[in-house]
Structure 1
Amino acid sequence: MLRRVHFIDSHTAGEPTRTIVAGLPDLGTQCVADRRRRLVQQQDAFRHLVLAEPRGSEILVGALLIDDLPDTQDTGVVFFNNVGALHMCGHGTIGVAVTLAYLGRIDSGRHTIQTSVGPVQFELSDDLHTVRLQNVPSYRLAHDVAVTLDDGRTIHGDVAWGGNWFFLTEHNDDPLTLSNVDALTIHCQQIKAALQRQGISGDQGREIDHIELYQSVGPLAGRNFVLCPGGQFDRSPCGTGTSAKVACLAADGHLKPGQKWRQQSVTGTWFEASYEAADHGQVIPTIQGDAWITADGTLLFDTDDPLAAGARW
């Protein structure tokens, strides 16, 4: 017996998104946050089988399209990766926007998509590839936090929310280049372990699951390396990470409302960002990037296949 799952793959500035269009599991009929919770608690096997080998890869980010939300005609989306569900995903939202256009569900113009952390607006350009995403309110929670690594070194950084929780720290020991990915990954893993060991967290004790290293590359421009929760690095400049960065720049007075910030990824791709001031020291970031469709297909799961549920190696 075959189970079929229809998917559309895309990439946003190099970072892939696998949007699940049909064949979704039963996540109930409530809001996106409730469906995200059900994915984690009741349908985690589905998350694994659509992203894991032999049908996927650890670098994929998944997105479940939801078309039957109560009290709204907006499309909803639940984001997830190789280890669990995400709150928000900037590159993924850009990828979903272009996917919806590819499917003929939307045209150019302004649209709203519902996420587990609230509604997100975006504007799709006439070329159906460039997306300006207005992210959720973002802010810096803590500044110049001292973190002692297991080798005795102490680094400093900021804790910020951009749709996910980030620890952002300047890193000038090594260039943020692909040739240094292994060393940068180990360094970020050490930082994450130290945060957990020292009890440093986001608001209400929430885990800081993204680590962002950054360097300046000129006036109003920076380069980053972002380690995601599953141990993979972001190939794009990271939409939520760029939002967290903009919130920190705003808090320091280094970026004015409406002023453009250019964020480069470790792979060399770019996002453009700006913000509007909001209440209580928060900002509303806008992130612009391009996405491209890379595949339109059907995942097949044969009940006789010993790897039908996805590999666990």
Structure 2
Amino acid sequence: MINVSLVITSFNHRPYLERLLPKLGELARAGHQIIVTDDASTDGSVELLRANADADMTFRLSTVREGVSAATNAGLALATNDYVALLASDDDLLPGGFDIALAELKRTNADLVFCRPELINDDGVSLRSDIFPAFNRTDSDAFNEDPLSYLISRGNVICASTTFGYRDVFKQTGMFNESLLQLQDYEYWIRAAVTGFNLLISSSCWAQYRVHENNLSRSSNNKRMQLERRSIARSLYRNKGAINIIRKKLASYFPIVNTQDIDSRVLLAWLLLQHVDPILRSEGVMLAYECLADNSHCFELFGLSKLQIWEIANADA
């Protein structure tokens, strides 16, 4: 039997915690390490956890709101088993979920596996997958073929509560970026892929994602998300690993071009200019203008003129 370290992050989810705790107790008694990190809840979650203190489970109760990244990092720091799973306290695992996830991890030789979660409502009743399309796209094969290119060019399609993989992945990739409040998982998947780990979205399912009015992804601050997307995009051209992978990818598109001689900002700008997300396209435009200020001919190798870049900017204005 395998032993898993399950890290559950929680903030003001008392009704869901009450339903989840009995299942967590069963998993703990089966030999799994259960770590619940509460981010200074104010709805009675802390009192609930204290009342259910169990020698087989670890509760990390913060007195100051630190954010989901800090809560996840605190849990990961306590993980000791070879396998790690992540879960939000308003979500749930399907029966035998660890066995299903492990089988996929071994079958595919992946380092981290995810799945399209079953969507449920407050009462645990299944919902149609098209209610939350981000996690149920039909092009997971395209993601699995080239996770990094997919994440950069098409955005995040991963449900963090389905994460299952080797603890070494988290040790080598590092901690979640605590300066990001909404896109911390997206940035982490990119970083893991850049580090060289194989990410895979499975067709099997082992977790449930609860759709309710307080989902972080539903209560997103659009301006903050825009700033975080820009921050992630900007960090890419300072990441040598990411740029080297992008260089190889572009070399297959432009075999006559020596990408080693091209400014990393130009490479990333070219990629962002083709992004499906207008926010990241606009970041590509801004980055392109910076590059053009230094070298007015820097995009000619890619068949892009100043006028075409200007037209992209106008189309998204």
TM-score band w.r.t. shorter chain:
under 0.3
- Which structure has the higher relative contact order (CA within 8 Å, separation 6+)? 1
| Greater helix share, structure number | 2
Q: Normalization by structure 2: what TM-score?
A: 0.25
Tell which structure's C-alpha radius of gyration is larger.
Answer: 2
TM-score, length basis structure 1: 0.25
Which structure dedicates a bigger proportion of its chain to strand?
Answer: 1
